[in-house]
Each structure stands twice: as structure tokens, then as C-alpha cells.
Amino acid sequence: MPVLQDCEWLGDAGLADRFFAALDPAGSMVAVVGFTMKRHRLSDGGLTACLIRGCTTPGAHQHAASWLISRACRALRRDGVRKIIAYSDVLAGERGVIYRAAGFKLAEMKAKTRFRVRPPGIRWHQHGLCYSDRWLRHGGRNWSHATARANGFKVERIPQRQRWERHL
């Protein structure tokens, strides 16, 4: 989806399999959100969806994101979704303002330490060139933090993501 590639900071659609878009009066896409449909049912028989991608173009109205998310929630409710989960990442400058405006509530999360692994020569602000600490354990590496540091990588503690929920 070109808008996601151009405007979403992660640069792709990820695992999203359900998309909603907002168009301007000229018919150009100005906002898009992508959900993945969790394959488990809630106790009431409803489904859970996770909002995993979303962005607006520079020319979009300032409230386009929350407006689109609210309408997408209504459409998903008609399809049997009863709960939507979303995450905001403080490291990316996300504070959850859009989720609050779209009717989401901050959910309690277990305190969990997150780490980011920076390869040698990569600066702090170059998010797309860093790895999560899971990268250390996968791909045949099975490295500890100490091994990564010995190989020139920086292992840094980073803020936990915030989890947001909306019950439909």
C-alpha cells in the first residue's frame, strides 16, 4: 500500500490483513489503518482485532486518524469484533493521543524490560537499523547481552510500549 510505504514510520503493512482508508474530496487517500484479526474468541463469542499500522498524509485533516479509527471500529463491530487492541511506542514519539480520541483506554501491562540492539556505527535516532533483543537469540546467534557488547553492539534499555484497548 503506497501510503503506508511513504508515510508510516515502519514503512510497510506488517501483518495487517484488514484495511480502512479515508479519502479527501478529490478522491486521494489521506489516511489508512490496518488491522490483524486475532484468531481467538472472547468469552462472549466475539473476535479481537489488533490495530498494527496507521498513518496520515501531510495534507490530511488534523483529526483524520482518530476519525478513521472510530469508523473502522464501527465496521469491525458489524463483523463480530468485540475488542480492539493497539500499541503506542514512546520511543517513536507516540503517546496515545489518537487512541484516546478514538475511545481507547490505556490497559494495565506487566512491567517488562525492553532492550534495543544497535549495530556498530548506528546512531540512536536510526530506529530502522536497530534490532529488538529477540534478534540476539534467533538466526543461530543465541547471544547474551554481554556477547553482543563484546561484538561491538550497543544494548540499551528502552521504554515499554503502551497497550490500548477499546471494547465495542
Residues 21/22/23/24 CA torsion (nearest 10 deg): -160
Return the residue matching grid coordinates 534467533: 138
3-state secondary structure the chain: CHHHHHHCCCCCCCCCCEEEEEECCCCCEEEEEEEEEEEEECCCCCEEEEEEEEEECCCCCCCHHHHHHHHHHHHHHHCCEEEEEEEECHHHCCCCHHHHHCCCEECCCCCCCEEEEECCCCCCCCHHHCEECHHHHCCCCCCCHHHHHHCCCEEEEECCCEEEEEEC
Of the candidates 95, 81, 92, 28, the one whose C-alpha atom is nearest the C-alpha of residue 58 is 28
Above 90 in pLDDT, residue 71?
yes
pTM for this one? 0.74
Mean pLDDT for 5-10 is: 64
Comparing 40 with 71, the larger pLDDT belongs to 71
Asked whether 30 and 57 are in contact (CB, 8 A), the reply is yes
The pLDDT assigned to 92 comes to 72
Domains in the chain, start-ordered, CATH in brackets?
Answer: 2-109+160-167 (3.40.630.30)
Give per-residue pLDDT as tens, 111-167.
Answer: 677 888 989 988 877 767 888 888 888 877 889 999 999 999 999 888 788 889 999
